[in-house]
Structure 1
C-alpha cells in the first residue's frame, strides 16, 4: 500500500470520531463493498404493472424550449402517441448544444456553445442515443487530464469499473500528487469533510449544507491539496463559481461525477458538431412520429384561468422581428453617465439617457457583442471578433457585416430594467397564432422561463410565480475558438481541464476530435483550439474584447509553441443563461411536476430527485416530465436510471 493510502485509510483514527460520523453500519458498508463486480445503474422509476405503452386517448402537448430537456420530453411523448408541438425561439434547436454555420476564410464550419463531454454515467442520455441508433456519432476520448498552472503535476482520469472507496484507492495509486492531498483523518474537520463527500444523501446533505456557499464551507481548515486539486476545478466545471455555489449542490455534483459513479471520468465527444450528431436525429424522430417543430418562433402570451394554463399565443420570427415585448436588466459594470447598457454576454443593448430607442449590440456578422469606441476619429461600435464597424446609430460602416445593428423601442422602465420591443416590425405583418393543449411543458432556460411568466395573462398560481422569481442564473460562460496556421504537440487529453489561470478553465483540440476540423487541419497544417471560461466575474472582464484578449494571452501560456503563430480567425460565444445553484435555493427550487395540473417544468435548473448534472440533468428532467404525463394517462413510464442515489457512508 502506498504511503498516501496508508495516510488516507490506515491512520490511527480516534475511534469515537469514526463511529460518531459514520456509525457501525456505514463502516460495514465500506468494508463489504465489492471490488470484483462493477456496480450497476439504479432504476429510479419503473412501473411494476403491465401498462400500455401508448396513451389511451387523443392527447396534445406543447413543449416550449428546444434544448435537450425539451427535445427529450417531445421525443418521449411523441413515441407514446401524444401529439406534440415543440416551440423554440432561436433559429436552431439544441439550446446549449445547438450549432450554427459560420464562415472562416473560404471554409464553412458549424459553431457551437462550446465542447461538451458525454460521460458514461449519462445513462438516460445514452439510452436515447442507443434508441436512435447513432452511437457511431460519438467517439471515446480515452482519458481526461487536469493540468495545473503551478504547484501540482497533472492528474489523469481513466475509465473505471469501481465506485467508492476503490476509485479513491485507484486515484491515490495513480496520482503523483497523492502526498499533497493534505487529508488527516485524525482531525475532526477533515473527518467531517470526508463524511460529506462520501455520504451524499438527499435531502439530508442539503439540510446540512445548502445554507453555505462552497467558499464558506471550505474556508475553515479545509485540506488545501484536496481543494486545489479537485474541489476548485471540478466545482467550476458545474458552471457555478465557488462563492455562489451551494455546498449541498456541490456534494450532489461530486457524488454524481465521482463518489457514486462507477464509470470513471473518461468520456465521449461528438464526431461532428452536436447539432448533426445528436440534435438532428432527435428532431427527425419527433417529426417521424407526427410531432410539429417550430423554430424561430416566439411565445407572445400565456393564458391562465382558475389555476391552469388555458392556451398560448405565438408569432413566427426572432426577437428582432417580433412585436413581442421582453424585459432586460441594467448592466452596472458597462453603464456610465453617457450611455446605459442592459443585458450581458452576447445579449447586450445600449441606451442613451432619455432615448426611446435601444440598440442591440449583437454583431450582425457572426454574433459577437460589439464594443463602444469613443475617440477623436470615430464614435461608434467595433466587433472584437472580426472587425465589423458600426456608426453610433448602428449603421454598418465596414468589415464583414452586411446588416445594421437592430433597434428596439423602449416600452417602459421599472427601476433597473427596461421593457423592449422590436422597432422595425410592420403592423399586421407578423400574425399571432393561438394554440391549446392538454399539457404544457416549459423547458426553456431560466431567462426564458422568467419571460414566459412575465407574458402571463390572468392569475398565475402564486407558489409557482414565487419559485420562478427566485431562480438565478450563474456567472457568465465564455468560449473562445481560435484557428491558427500551425499545429503543436500536446501530451494531455484532447479536452483538458485547467486550473490556476485568471480566465481559462479548459482547452479543447477540435482538430483532433471533430471530422470537419480534422480535415481542415490536414489540408492546411493548422490547428483549431477552444478555450472555456466556466463562470468568470463580469467585473474583471466587462467586455468581450477583454475576454478575447485574455484568452489569447493565456493560450500562449498554455501552449508556448503557438507563440508567433498567426491567428487566422477567432470566434467568441459568451452567454449568461446557465442555471445558478446559490446557497438556500434547494428548498424552494421547482420540480418537474408543479402545483398546476397541466404544467410541467424541464431543464437543468429543476430540482431533481436523484443525482445528475449538466446534460444528463436536462435530459432526465425532460423524461421525468414525460413520465408524469404518461402516469396520469395510465401509460407505462420510461425506466429512469441513475448512479447509486446515496453515498456508501451515508448518515
Structure 2
C-alpha cells in the first residue's frame, strides 16, 4: 500500500529525478514519478525506449520495411502491475491480443496444451496433471509425495530461505518428478529464465509454479501485442511521459552517478554532468555492474560487492525468417519446444502481429521466429542459426521447401541469472543512499513476481521509495497471494517444513 501523504508535488517544490534506463522498469518508475509531479529526465543509451523489448526498423531484401526486435514475449494475465503500466495509454488493453493456447512439444512425440486446464486453484494443478500425457498413473505412484509438498504451499520470501540452495533439477529429482513432464513442461519454464535448470535456483521454479498454478486463477494463457513493441507499447508511453512534462534523452548513455553528502545526485553523460535530486537506476545486470564500477562514490563496499556478484544469463539467439510460402494453417502463433537440439520455441508472427500479417498476405508467405536460450559460452552464432533452421524443418516439415527471403538475428547476453544460492546477495530497491534506488528484473523485492512483472513492480517500488521520502503517495501494487490460496493445500505443504530438503 502507498504510504500516507499528499497526492503530488506542488510545482514550486517538484524535485528533479533522473531515471537511468528506458526499459520496463525505468518506464514504470518514470511514469509514477511524473504522474506525481516530479521533474523526470529519462536517460536511455539506445535510440528507442523499451530496453530488452525495444525494436528497430530494418529494410528487407524485397524492399519492404519491418520492425526487428528480440521477439516473442508472453504477457501473462498475472502481470497485474505491467498491465497497469500499459493501461496508462491503452485503458482496455486493446493492443494486446490473446493467444488461444500455450502448446508444448517434445521431440519424443509428446505434446501438451493449457487451453483446457482449469484456471481455479487447486484444480489448475490437478487438471494439468490429469490432462498432460507426460503424467501416467505409474509415474504418479512413484513420485515422492512428501518431497513434492512444498509445491502446494509456496510462501514468499520463505521459499528462498528453504530452496535457494537447491537447483531446479535437483528438486525435481528429489520429487521423482516424471522424466517426460520434467522435459516437456518444467524445462521449458525454467529456460524462460534463460537458464539451464541444473543451474537455476529451485526457489525460482517453485515461485513460478505458485504464480501460474496455485496462486492465481488466470492460468497459463497469455496475451501478445498486436503490433511490434515500439508501436504497440513504448511509443505511446513515451508520448504519455512527455505530456506529463518528462524529458526523454534517448541515445544518451550514462557513464557515472555521484551522490552528494549534502543531498542530490550528479549523472554524467558524454556531454555533461547533470544535477538531480534523486536517481532511479533501472538497468540490466551487466550495465548496472559497469555503472557502479565507474561510480566510485556510489554505495558501501559490501553493497558494491553484491552488485559485482550479479550474474548474467548465458547468451541466447533470436532468428526471424521471412519465408516465401506459408506454414500450415493449423500451426499455432507460439509453440514451446524441448528436445530439439537447442530450439526452445517457434513463433508464427502473422498469427498475431499486424505488420507481419501484412507482409505474409502480400507475399503469400510467413514470418517465423526461432529462439534458443542458455547457449554455451563458446557457441558459434552461425552454427546455432543453421541448427535452428534445421530444427524448424524437423518440427514444421512444410518449411523445408520455403525460400528464406530475408533473415534478422539477435545474439544477446544481458538477462539476469538466478543461480543456486544467489538470492541473499541480490540488491534490493533501496540502496545505501536514500535518494538512489534500483529497479529491474534482477532486483530483489520479495514479492511473488517474475520476469517482466518483476521489472514493472520494482520500477514502481523504486519510484515509491523516493516519493515516500518526500511525503508523496506512491501507488497500490497487486500480486498473486504470497502464499497458496487453498487452506487444505497449505496445511499439507506445511508438513514439508518439518522435513530437511537434501
Q: TM-score when scaled to structure 2? A: 0.92
- Is the 1:182–1:226 contact (alpha carbons within 8 Å) kept by the matching residues of 2? no
Q: In structure 1, what is the equivalent of residue 454 of structure 2?
A: 617
User: CA 1:526/1:75 → structure 2, altered by over 3 Å: closer, same or farther?
Assistant: same
Q: SS where residue 101 of structure 1 aligns?
A: strand
| Match among 505, 517, 521 for residue 356 of structure 2 | 517
| Match among 103, 109, 134 for residue 145 of structure 1 | 103
Q: Deviations over 1:512-541 (max 9, x none)?
A: 2111111111111111100111222234xx
| Match among 378, 393, 411 for residue 574 of structure 1 | 411
Q: SS where residue 600 of structure 1 aligns?
A: strand
Q: In structure 2, what is the equivalent of residue 627 of structure 1?
A: 464
Greater alpha carbon shift after TM alignment, 173-182 vs 257-266: 173-182
Q: SS where residue 593 of structure 1 aligns?
A: coil
Paired residues for 1:89-100 under 5 Å: 89-100=45-56
Q: In structure 2, what is the equivalent of residue 86 of structure 1?
A: 42
User: CA 1:72/1:160 → structure 2, altered by over 3 Å: closer, same or farther?
Assistant: farther
Q: In structure 2, what is the equivalent of residue 348 of structure 1?
A: none
Q: Deviations over 1:177-215 (max 9, x none)?
A: 442682237x6x33212x122211123221221112222
Pair 1:636 & 2:473 matched: yes
Paired residues for 1:447-458 under 5 Å: 447-458=286-297
Structure 1 residue 220, shift from structure 2 partner: 4.0
- Is the 2:259–2:433 contact (alpha carbons within 8 Å) kept by the matching residues of 1? no
Q: In structure 2, what is the equivalent of residue 255 of structure 1?
A: 210
- Is the 1:159–1:265 contact (alpha carbons within 8 Å) kept by the matching residues of 2? no
Paired residues for 1:563-602 under 5 Å: 563-602=400-439
Q: SS where residue 157 of structure 1 aligns?
A: coil
Structure 2: 5+ residue stretches without partners: 495-502
Structure 1 residue 150, shift from structure 2 partner: 0.9
- Is the 1:302–1:309 contact (alpha carbons within 8 Å) kept by the matching residues of 2? no
Q: In structure 1, what is the equivalent of residue 251 of structure 2?
A: 296
User: CA 1:212/1:174 → structure 2, altered by over 3 Å: closer, same or farther?
Assistant: closer
- Is the 1:501–1:554 contact (alpha carbons within 8 Å) kept by the matching residues of 2? yes
Pair 1:443 & 2:398 matched: no
Q: Paired residues, what number?
A: 483
Q: SS where residue 368 of structure 2 aligns?
A: strand
Q: Distance in 2 between matches of 1:70 and 1:463?
A: 25
Q: Distance in 2 between matches of 1:543 and 1:450?
A: 26
Structure 1 residue 449, shift from structure 2 partner: 0.3
Q: In structure 1, what is the equivalent of residue 498 of structure 2?
A: none
Q: CA RMSD in A?
A: 2.0
Which structure is richer in relative contact order (CA contacts within 8 A, separation 6 or more)?
A: 2
- Is the 1:160–1:262 contact (alpha carbons within 8 Å) kept by the matching residues of 2? no
Q: Distance in 2 between matches of 1:510 and 1:155?
A: 21
- Is the 1:213–1:244 contact (alpha carbons within 8 Å) kept by the matching residues of 2? yes
Structure 1 residue 305, shift from structure 2 partner: 4.6
| Match among 230, 249, 269 for residue 224 of structure 2 | 269
- Is the 2:299–2:432 contact (alpha carbons within 8 Å) kept by the matching residues of 1? no
Paired residues for 1:269-288 under 5 Å: 269-288=224-243
Paired residues for 1:385-404 under 5 Å: none
Q: In structure 2, what is the equivalent of residue 77 of structure 1?
A: 33
Paired residues for 1:368-407 under 5 Å: none
Q: Distance in 2 between matches of 1:472 and 1:196?
A: 27
Q: TM-score when scaled to structure 1? A: 0.71
Greater alpha carbon shift after TM alignment, 127-136 vs 112-121: 127-136
Q: SS where residue 102 of structure 1 aligns?
A: strand
- Is the 2:8–2:37 contact (alpha carbons within 8 Å) kept by the matching residues of 1? yes
- Is the 1:601–1:625 contact (alpha carbons within 8 Å) kept by the matching residues of 2? yes
- Is the 2:299–2:431 contact (alpha carbons within 8 Å) kept by the matching residues of 1? no
User: CA 1:506/1:66 → structure 2, altered by over 3 Å: closer, same or farther?
Assistant: same
Q: Deviations over 1:154-178 (max 9, x none)?
A: 2111387744211123324433444
Q: Distance in 1 between matches of 2:325 and 2:307?
A: 48
Q: In structure 2, what is the equivalent of residue 110 of structure 1?
A: 67
Structure 1: 5+ residue stretches without partners: 1-44, 316-431
Q: Distance in 2 between matches of 1:510 and 1:169?
A: 32
Q: SS where residue 127 of structure 1 aligns?
A: helix
- Is the 1:271–1:515 contact (alpha carbons within 8 Å) kept by the matching residues of 2? yes
Greater alpha carbon shift after TM alignment, 569-578 vs 124-133: 124-133
Q: Distance in 2 between matches of 1:485 and 1:176?
A: 35
Q: SS where residue 440 of structure 1 aligns?
A: strand
Greater alpha carbon shift after TM alignment, 604-613 vs 55-64: 55-64
Q: Deviations over 1:331-363 (max 9, x none)?
A: xxxxxxxxxxxxxxxxxxxxxxxxxxxxxxxxx
- Is the 2:193–2:417 contact (alpha carbons within 8 Å) kept by the matching residues of 1? no
Q: Distance in 1 between matches of 2:264 and 2:150?
A: 42
Pair 1:501 & 2:340 matched: yes
